[in-house]
Chain A
Amino acid sequence: MRTKLWVIAAAAGLLAIAVPAVAHHSFAAEFDADRPITVKGTVTKMDWVNPHSWIYIDVKDPSGKVVNWRFEMGPPNALLRMGWRKDSIPAGTPVEIQGYRAKTGEPVANAKQVKLPDGRELFSGGSAPTLPVAPESKQ
């Protein structure tokens, strides 16, 4: 399963096409690229919803208080083709997510990459930079 997931993720990367992709909306309108964030927490749920999937995680702040963060991800069809499955990260899974905070300062962010307990890293398919860029990509 692990190999299969990686193969699918790699294939999705190889298929990255160097034509202008049109995202649902501007990253810059909502998120702050100058506020990257990495949080560790436990998955509470994942919503497979268009135009964006959302992953919710409980994160303990330094004082021990638990805050539920939510991270915007790509559309379900994109996640599916990148190797995600509905049961990829069930509730209770410890994860580490890299992303960019929302400009409002709420516990909301745009996910870039999700690291699973076994070390696998999955791209989020969101609107933040994830794969090592399109210009070198070949169709």
Chain B
Amino acid sequence: MKRTLLLIAVATILAATLPALQAQDQTPAKWSPPRTPDGHPDMQGMWARRGAAMAEANAPKSPLSEFGATGQPYPTVFNTGVSTPQAAAALTNRPSGIIEPANRVLPWRPEADAARREFLSHMIPPASLKYVEASARCVPPGLLGGDDRHPYQIVQRPGSFVLMYEYNHVTRVIHTDGRLHVGPNIRLYMGDSIGRWEGDTLVVDTTNFNDKTSFSQTIPYHSEALHTVERFTMVDPNIIDYQLTIEDPKLFTAPIRIAGTFAAAAKGSELMEFACAEGSQTLPNIFGFGLFPEQ
């Protein structure tokens, strides 16, 4: 009898405690990132970027992304392979691509939309060098025109946050020392980036772009009026949440927001040498070797 009472008592206590335990499980303590000596989140290391792309709905057919007589776009079939299985799992259900406007139909100015459609129609075969896509000419990638099969490395110092790309050896030194943007006559492929910390989020404001980089295979350029704001927030050891707001008033009537992820790269990943012209050989493959007398 005593034993039965004891069991009932234990069961009652358990029943009373369980809901509390479950409630506790549903509200886990906020994860706190490791910190650099100056107190900011330490995001240093190797990363693979995923999802940050300007994949618009109702995009015009781009000759660049067609594959064969069937007219089907060629599938994006290979993985960059630089993220870890843990990071790949964590990427499930992460926001990705254009998140504003929600329907991914971009707020084009009609004349700008018509101009880019006209431009696209000259790209294959390219009417001149200007119509060869920027990446094939080894132009720096801008913020979206790179190739995410290549890893990234983050290095932080007091006063700067450095984002190094394997792709085209781009190094973006994002100044966090309070300086202002360079003067308006200076135009840069990767723009001029100024960062500031809002709590644990690095907010990067970039201006002074030139108009020589592309957004995607259907948006082959932007204007010098481009202004971007990026937000980097480390949400767990394997994930940096990446948000990008794009304003280009010469192309679009409203800002566009893009979401992506920097996922921890596989252990042992490192940036490798990138010899774009030598490794790509796209121009001779398009125009023939006659263009290059030495060959």
A residues engaging B (CB < 8 A)?
11-13, 15-17, 19-31, 33-34, 47, 49-54, 72, 74-78, 80-82, 102-104, 106, 108, 123, 125-135, 138-139
Contacts and interface: CB of A to CB of B under 8 A. Distances in A.
B191 to A, nearest CB: 19
A82 B167 CA distance: 19
B218 to A, nearest CB: 11
Interface residues of B, number: 67
Contacts of A78: 78-82, 149
Interface string B87-112: 01101100011000000000000000
Given A19-B97, A78-B149, 10 more contacts: A24-B149, A27-B74, A30-B136, A33-B69, A51-B274, A54-B281, A77-B150, A78-B79, A78-B81, A125-B78
Contact of B53 (A22, A25, A29, A72): A22
B124 interface: yes
Given A49-B278, A50-B166, A76-B272, A19 B79 contact: no
A106 B64 CA distance: 21
B80 A129 contact: no
A73 B75 CA distance: 16
A49 B55 CA distance: 29
B285 A104 contact: yes
Nearest to B272: A76
B96 to A, nearest CB: 5
13 contacts: A20-B76, A21-B76, A24-B135, A28-B74, A29-B132, A33-B68, A50-B274, A50-B279, A75-B147, A82-B78, A131-B77, A138-B92, A139-B88
B74 A50 contact: no
B279 A51 contact: yes
Given A22-B146, A24-B147, A16 B285 contact: no
A139 B79 CA distance: 10
A138 B93 CA distance: 11
A50 B77 contact: no
Contacts of B183: none
B149 A75 contact: yes
Contacts of B286: 29-30, 103-104
Given A19-B97, A50-B166, A25 B282 contact: yes
B77 A82 contact: no
B158 interface: no
Given A17-B88, A33-B67, A25 B133 contact: yes
Interface string B46-80: 00001101010000000111111100001111111
A137 to B, nearest CB: 9
Contacts of A25: 133, 135-136, 280, 282
A77 B147 CA distance: 12
B88 to A, nearest CB: 5
A30 to B, nearest CB: 4
A35 to B, nearest CB: 9
Contacts of B64: 26, 28-29
Contacts of A20: 51, 53, 55, 76, 97
A51 B280 contact: yes
B147 A17 contact: no
A24 B17 CA distance: 56
B285 A21 contact: no
